[in-house]
Amino acid sequence: MKNFKHFNAKTIENTVSLLREYGSDAKVITGGVDIVGLLKNRVIEPKALINIKTIPGLNYISENGNTLRIGALTPISAIEFSSRIADKYSILAEAAHGVASPQLRNMSSVSGNLCQSNRCWYYRRGPDTGLTFFCRLKGGKRCYAADGDNRYHGVINADKCHAVCPSDMATALVAMNASARIVGSAGERTMTLEQMYSSLPLGRLLETDEIITEIIVPKLKENTRQRFLKFAIRKTIDFAIVSVAAVSNVENNTIADTNIVLGGVAPAPFRAALAEDMLRAQPITPELVDKASLAALSKAKPLSKNAYKLPIIRALIKRAIM
- Candidates 2, 26, 31; CA nearest to 15 is 26
31 binds ligand FAD (CB under 6 A): yes
Listed in sequence order, the residues at least 6 apart from 278 whose beta carbon sits closer than 8 Å to its beta carbon are 288, 291, 292, 295
**CB-based contact 85:79 (threshold 8 Å):** yes
- To the nearest whole angstrom, how small is the minimum distance from the Cβ of residue 169 to ligand FAD? 6
29 binds ligand FAD (CB under 6 A): yes
DSSP-based three-state secondary structure for 179: strand
* Interface size with ligand FAD, residues (CB under 6 A): 31
- To the nearest whole angstrom, how small is the minimum distance from the Cβ of residue 190 to ligand FAD? 14
Segment 172-201, which members bind ligand FAD (CB under 6 A)?
Answer: none
Instruction: Give whichever of 135 and 165 is closer to ligand FAD, judged by the CB atom.
Output: 165
* End-to-end CA, the chain: 49
For ligand FAD, the nearest residue by Cβ is 112
34 binds ligand FAD (CB under 6 A): yes
Q: Burial, 244: exposed, middle or buried (Cβ in 10 Å; 0-12, 13-18, 19+)?
A: buried
- To the nearest whole angstrom, how small is the minimum distance from the Cβ of residue 81 to ligand FAD? 15
- To the nearest whole angstrom, how small is the minimum distance from the Cβ of residue 271 to ligand FAD? 18
Among 146, 211, 216, 272, binds ligand FAD (CB under 6 A): 211
Segment 90-119, which members bind ligand FAD (CB under 6 A)?
Answer: 99-100, 104, 107-109, 111-113, 115-116
- Report d(CA 129, CA 304) in Å as an integer: 25
Q: What DSSP state is assigned to residue 41?
A: T
- Report d(CA 193, CA 185) in Å as an integer: 20
Among 13, 63, 195, 237, binds ligand FAD (CB under 6 A): 237
- To the nearest whole angstrom, how small is the minimum distance from the Cβ of residue 281 to ligand FAD? 33
39 binds ligand FAD (CB under 6 A): no
Sign for the CA dihedral angle at 103, 228, 38, 45 comes to negative
Omega before residue 201 within 30° of 0, cis: yes
Name the H helices within 63-144.
76-81, 83-88, 90-97, 102-107, 110-115, 121-124
Among 30, 77, 150, 259, binds ligand FAD (CB under 6 A): 30
- To the nearest whole angstrom, how small is the minimum distance from the Cβ of residue 157 to ligand FAD? 19
72 binds ligand FAD (CB under 6 A): yes
Interacting span for ligand FAD (CB under 6 A) from 28-36, 134-142, 247-255, 287-295: 28-36
- To the nearest whole angstrom, how small is the minimum distance from the Cβ of residue 116 to ligand FAD? 4
Residue 144-173 contact track with ligand FAD, rule CB under 6 A, x = bound? ----------------------xxxx----
- Length of the chain measured in residues: 322
Q: Burial, 281: exposed, middle or buried (Cβ in 10 Å; 0-12, 13-18, 19+)?
A: exposed
Among 19, 27, 122, 145, binds ligand FAD (CB under 6 A): 27
CA distances from 67 to 97, 190, 217 (A): 22, 14, 6
Residues of this chain that bind ligand FAD (CB under 6 A)? 27-35, 72, 99-100, 104, 107-109, 111-113, 115-116, 166-169, 206, 211-212, 237-239
